[in-house]
Amino acid sequence: MDLNLRHISHRYDDVEVLRDINLDIRRGQIVCIIGPSGCGKSTLLRMIGGLERPTAGEVLQLGVPPADCLNPLTYIFQDFALLPWRTVEGNVSLVLEDHPMDAAARQEIIQDVLARTKLSDFRKAYPRQLSGGMKQRVAIARALAVRPAVLLMDEPLSALDSQTRELLMDDLVDLWEKENYTAAYVTHNLAEAVRLGHKIVVLSRRPGEIRDIVEIDMPLSARTTENTELEAIQKRLWQLMRDEARAADMELVDE
């Protein structure tokens, strides 16, 4: 399933947040959305996921989700959003409990996604026993359990330390190499964007408009921190954002 954003604009009362966003998210692509603070990145993701309706424009779903898809658009948040009184498998099971399936089918899905996210040995653990990286793996496993057509990832690694972030990026790459999942991925971290993005969308400061779309024609598995081509792309992205990021940093926050 592809997504097509046509002329998305949005405002909150007198504040214009997004202006005339046109974007395609193709099946099997990770599309990273970057821009200065307050430019409307997370708002745009909510529009894509249907949590908010844009003031103008539309989000089209083109094609059909996979036959076994239980939830076409599924979020992964930066704060993990785990229930502390449920185990790892209990948190994953939560998203399946409203779907008509027997216990054996539910357990089969849970076992599958825990194996894919390297959590099989931790199924009986509680969130308080897990590191930040492990908690985010649980959140990813929970999202995969509904077999989504598109993952909507809102700064999923921003709450993690740098070493854990690197490990999780490796995990996301490994998962994509095996499954070619589709994702819209919001981040403020340029290193994440060039490591994971097939397409990088650069938004301007508010109101967010598309300043540029950078496509990277390089296998995810070949992208290393020492890669000079990726370094050049990251510098280019920062040049696009630098002045606007500085200006955005000096703005008052609306209350």
**Average pLDDT, 10 consecutive residues per value, the chain (255 residues):** 95 93 96 92 94 94 87 89 94 92 91 92 95 92 93 90 89 91 94 94 93 93 86 90 69 46
From 154, 186, 218, the end of a domain falls on: 186
Write out pLDDT tens, residues 140-182.
999 999 999 999 999 998 888 888 889 899 999 999 998 899 9
The whole-angstrom separation of Cα 52 and Cα 9 is: 12
Q: According to the model, what pLDDT value does residue 250 have?
A: 57
Kindly provide the b/e burial profile for residues 211-243, where b requires at least 16 CB atoms within 10 angstroms of the residue's own CB. Answer: beebebeeebeebeeeeeebeebbebbeebbee
Q: In what order do the strands lie in the sheet with 73-76?
A: 73-76, 150-154, 183-186, 30-34, 199-203, 210-215
* 216 to 12, 29, 42, 201, 238: CA distances (angstroms): 34, 11, 23, 11, 16
Q: According to the model, what pLDDT value does residue 248 have?
A: 60
Residue span of the structural domain in which 197 resides:
191-255
DSSP E strands, the chain: 2-12, 15-25, 30-34, 56-62, 73-76, 150-154, 183-186, 199-203, 210-215
Residues 164 and 230 occupy one common structural domain? no
Q: According to the model, what pLDDT value does residue 67 have?
A: 82
Residues 163 and 74 occupy one common structural domain? yes
The whole-angstrom separation of Cα 198 and Cα 212 is: 14
Residues 93 and 149 occupy one common structural domain? yes
From 152, 186, 220, the end of a domain falls on: 186
Q: According to the model, what pLDDT value does residue 25 have?
A: 96
Q: According to the model, what pLDDT value does residue 255 have?
A: 34
Answer whether residue 154 is part of any domain. Answer: yes
Answer whether residue 238 is part of any domain. Answer: yes
Residues 246 and 213 occupy one common structural domain? yes
CB 23 within 8 A of CB 210: yes
Q: According to the model, what pLDDT value does residue 216 have?
A: 94
List the CATH number of the domain containing 146.
3.40.50.300
From 136, 156, 186, the end of a domain falls on: 186
Q: According to the model, what pLDDT value does residue 254 have?
A: 45
Residues 89 and 176 occupy one common structural domain? yes
Residues 231 and 203 occupy one common structural domain? yes
For the chain, the helix, strand and coil percentages under 3-state DSSP, each to the nearest 5: 40, 25, 40
Residues 81 and 129 occupy one common structural domain? yes
What sign for the dihedral angle of Cα 77, 80, 86, 90? positive
Answer whether residue 178 is part of any domain. Answer: yes
Tally of structural domains, the chain: 2
Answer whether residue 164 is part of any domain. Answer: yes
